[in-house]
Chain A
Amino acid sequence: MKLKKILPQAITLLVVIIIFGFFTMNAQLNMENRGIDFGYGFLSQESSFDVQFSLIEYSGSDSYARAYLVGLLNTLLVSILGIILCTILGVIVGIARLSPNYLIRTTAAWYVEFFRNIPLLLQIFFWYYAALRALPLPQDAEAIFGASYLTIKGFYTPSLIWENLDIFIYSVIAAIIAIVFVRIQAKKLRENVGKHLPVLNISIVILFVLPLLTFLFGGVNVGYETPELKQLAKTSFKFEGGLSIPPELLSLVIALSLYTATFVAECVRAGIQGVGKGQREAASSIGLNRKQVLNLIIMPQALRIIIPPTTNQYLNLTKNSSLAAAIAYPDLVLVFAGTALMQTGKAIEIVSITMLTYLTLSLSISFFMNWYNAKIAIVEK
C-alpha cells in the first residue's frame, strides 16, 4: 500500500531530476565549448541599438536593462489600450447578441463568428500591410476634426501641454479617495438606517469638481500643440509636434481588440444569460424598480459569471501582444528577445528573463483572480 504511493512519486522526481540534470550538463558543456559565459552582467552594458518608439527617454548609449524596460512598457501600453477597447466593444457586441432586434442579433453573431475564426497573426498582418498601407501620404492627408491626421506614417493628433500636472493628478487621487469614503459611509447608512444616498451622482460631482477647482486655484493650465506638416525634401513630408501614434501600434491595437472582443462578447452574453429569469421576476415582485433590479440583483450575479473568463481573455490579450514582433512594433519580445539576443548571444539568460516576465504578469493576475473569485463566490449552505 505504501509502495503504491511512494513509487510513482519517486519515478516522477527521478525523471524531473534526470531531465534537468541532462539539460544543465549539456548547457554547461556547450557554453564551455563555444566560450560563452553565463551571467546577467550584460544587462548593465551599453546596448548601442535604437528603438523606434519608446515611452521613456532612450538612446543607444543606455544599458540593456533600460532597453528591457522600454520593451516592457511598450508591451504594457499595447495591452492596456487593447484591454480598454476590447472591453467596450465586447460588452456592446455581447449585449447586441441578446437584442430583440433580429438584424442586430445576427450582425453581432456574424461579427463574432468572423473575427474569432481567423488567426490573429493574419489579422495583424492584414491591418498593418494591407489596410493601413492604403492610407494617404502625409501631404495628401485630410484633417479629421480640423487637427488630427490619419496617414500611412501613423495617426497624428494634438497633444495636451500641462502646467503643474502633478497638482492635477493629486486632485484626481484625492477625488478617488473621497469617493471610496463616500461609498463606505453610504453603505453604512444604508445598512444601519436604511437610507439611500445617490452615491453615483455624488461620485460624479466629486470627480469633476475637485479637478476643476485646481484649474481655478491650483495654477493648473492646459494648452495644446497641433501636428504640423513639415517638408523634409522635395517629395518627403512629415508631421511634427503633437501626439503621434505609429502605424505598428495602431494596427496591433485594432487587431488585438477586434479579435479579443469576440471572446469578451461571448463571456458577457453567457453571463447575462446565466442569471435566471426568476431572479428578475422575484426582484420586481418585492417592489424594486428597474434600476434597482439591474444594479442590485442582475449585475452582481452576472458579473460573477462574466469576470473570471474575461480576465482570462485579458491575459490572453497581453500574451498575444507579443505578436507585435511580427510587424516590428518594439515590444518586449522584439526589443529584448530579438535585438538584444542577436547582439549579445546570451540565449539562455534573455529567453529566461522574457519568459519570467510574462510568467510574473500572468501569475500575479491569476492569483488576484483566485482571491477575487473566493471573495465573491456565493456562500452555499
Chain B
Amino acid sequence: MSTLNLLRPSKDNLQSNLYLGSFLVGISILDVFLNSFLKFNITSFLPSIISIVLPFLLGMFGFHLMRIEFSGIKNLDRLNKNINTNNFNAALTLLIIFLIIKAIPPVMSWMILDANISGDSKDACTGSGACWTYIKVWFKRFMYGMYPNEHIWRVNLAFIFLVVLAFVGFVTPQKYRNLLTLYYVVIYPIIAFILIYYLISGGEFGLEWVETGAWGGLSLTFIVSFFSLIFCFPLGMALALGRRTELPIVKYVSVGFIEFWRGVPLITVLFMSSVMFPMFLPEDFFMDKLVRVIIAISLFEAAYVAEVIRGGLQALPRGQYDAAKSLGMGYWKMHIFVILPQALKLVIPGMANTFLALVKDTPLIFVVGLAELAGMLQMAKTNPKWLGYAMEGYVFAAIIFWIICYAMSKYSYNLELKYKTDR
C-alpha cells in the first residue's frame, strides 16, 4: 500500500479514500439534517460563520476524495458519473441536497404538522401552520361557485353523465368504430349542451332556473374550457385550410383573422366581449355573459389551433398531395381521407399545448365578473370572517390546476406515442 495522498485520490488507496470521503460527506449531510430537523447544531462551539460553511467544505472535500475514476465498484462509478464529475458539479450537488433538507421541515410543518383542518370557523385555526379548515368550509364554493347548495346534485349528475359518455370510445365494438369521430365531434357536444342547458341551467321539467352569474368555481372552469375547446377545434381547422388555399380572398380573410386574434391579449378580447360586443348587437337581443365569454375564448384559441394545424399541413411531404390527386380525389376527399388524418397525428403535441393554454387561460374570465376557481378565491379572501388565509387558497388552487394540466400533458404524450407511425 502506497502512502495516502489526500490531494490526489487514486485507485491505489481506494478503500481509505472511499471510507474517509463518504464519512465526510455523511457528516456534512448529518450536520445539516440535525440543524434543520432537530434544531441541533453540533458545530455550535465554532464561530457562526465557520459553523455555516463547514458542512459545505467537508462535503466538498469528501466528494473530492471519492472521485476515483474506474474504481471497479459499480455504485461508486455510477455516483461519480451522475453527481460528482468535477468540483463544480459536486458543489451544485451539495447545494441542492442541503436546500432540500433545509426546505422540508418548514414546508412539512406548514402544510401538515402545524396545520388545522377540524372545526368549521376561523377559531379552529390555532396552529402556526396552514388553516385547511378554510378550504373545507369554502370547498363547495370553490367547486360550484354561488350555485345553490340544494341544487348541487344537478351539476354533479351532469358531470357524471358527461364523463361516462366520454368513455364510450373505449367500449365501442369494432363494427361501429368508424362512427366514433362523428360521435365525438357532433353528437357528444350536442348531448353536453343539452345536459348543461336543461340540468345545470334548469328552468324546465320542474327544475329551478339558476342564472349563469351564479355558476362558478372549478365546474365553471370545466364548462368554459370544454365548450371553447369544442368550438375552437373545427374553426381552427377551417382557418388552417383557408390559409393554405390558393383562393386569394379566402386566404387573406383567414390570414387576417388569425393574425388579429394572435396579436391581442385574451384580457382585451374578454373586455371586448363584455363592453364592446353588446353595442354591435340589436338592442332587444340579449346574449348571456357566459355565452359571450365562450365565443370570445373560442375565437381567440381558434387562431392558435389554426397555426398549429398549419404546421402539420406544411410538414406533410408534397408527395401525399400529389398521390391523392393522381387517384382522382377532389379537394375535400383528399383532405378528409389523406391529408388531415396524417397532419392531425403530427400536431398532437402542439394541440395539447394549445388546449393546456386554454385551460390555464380560463381564470381570466374574472375580468368580466365570472368567478371560476381563481375568481372564487379572490372573493373568499376578502370575506371579513376569513381574512388572512390567501396562501392556503392559492396553494389549494395551484395543486388542483397542476394536477389537471400535468395529467393532460402526460395524456397527450401517451397519445403521441400511440399514434406514432414510422415513415
B-facing mask of A351-368, CB < 8 A → 1, else 0? 110110011011100100
Distance in angstroms between the alpha carbons of A291 and B226 in the assembled complex:
51
Closest to B85 in A: A100
B374 touches A121 (CB 8 A): yes
Residues of B close to A23: CB separation below 8 A: 280
Closest to B359 in A: A119
Distance in angstroms between the alpha carbons of A304 and B85 in the assembled complex:
30
Show 21 residue pairs from A and B whose CB-CB distance is below 8 angstroms, ordered by the A residue.
Answer: A100-B85, A101-B85, A102-B82, A103-B97, A119-B361, A119-B363, A122-B363, A122-B374, A122-B394, A122-B397, A131-B391, A319-B265, A333-B265, A337-B271, A351-B276, A355-B268, A358-B263, A358-B264, A359-B263, A362-B262, A363-B259
Distance in angstroms between the alpha carbons of A16 and B254 in the assembled complex:
11
**Contact partner, B82, options A100, A134, A355, Cβ 8 Å:** A100
B248 at the interface (CB under 8 A from A): yes
A81 at the interface (CB under 8 A from B): no
The secondary-structure label for the interface of chain A is: helix
A322 touches B283 (CB 8 A): no
Binds A, one of B204-212, B334-342, B399-407: B399-407
A192 at the interface (CB under 8 A from B): no
Distance in angstroms between the alpha carbons of A16 and B401 in the assembled complex:
38
Closest to B260 in A: A359
Distance in angstroms between the alpha carbons of A6 and B272 in the assembled complex:
34
**Number of A positions contacting B (CB below 8 A):** 58
Residues of B close to A102: CB separation below 8 A: 82-83
Distance in angstroms between the alpha carbons of A341 and B374 in the assembled complex:
25
A119 touches B401 (CB 8 A): yes
Residues of B close to A358: CB separation below 8 A: 263-265, 268
Distance in angstroms between the alpha carbons of A20 and B303 in the assembled complex:
19
A214 at the interface (CB under 8 A from B): no
Distance in angstroms between the alpha carbons of A242 and B369 in the assembled complex:
39
The secondary-structure label for the interface of chain B is: helix
Distance in angstroms between the alpha carbons of A100 and B85 in the assembled complex:
8
B-facing mask of A9-23, CB < 8 A → 1, else 0? 100110010000011
> What is the interface residue range for chain B against chain A?
35 or more
Distance in angstroms between the alpha carbons of A5 and B97 in the assembled complex:
67
A positions within 8 Å CB-CB of B:
5, 8-9, 12-13, 16, 22-23, 26-27, 29-31, 33, 99-104, 107, 113-114, 117-123, 125-126, 129-131, 133-134, 319-320, 322-323, 325-326, 333, 337, 341, 347-348, 351-352, 354-355, 358-359, 361-363, 366
Determine how close the nearest CB of chain A comes to the CB of B263; give it in whole angstroms.
4
A100 touches B268 (CB 8 A): no
Determine how close the nearest CB of chain B comes to the CB of A2; give it in whole angstroms.
12
Distance in angstroms between the alpha carbons of A113 and B407 in the assembled complex:
11
A117 touches B401 (CB 8 A): yes
Distance in angstroms between the alpha carbons of A204 and B85 in the assembled complex:
33
Closest to A127 in B: B394
Tell me whether A26 and B253 are in contact in the complex, defined as CB-CB below 8 angstroms, given that A101-B93, A133-B390, A355-B272 are known contacts: no
**Other contacts beyond A12-B253, A355-B268: 17, CB < 8 A:** A8-B250, A101-B89, A103-B93, A103-B97, A104-B89, A114-B402, A117-B406, A118-B402, A119-B363, A122-B398, A134-B391, A319-B266, A333-B268, A351-B271, A351-B275, A352-B276, A359-B264
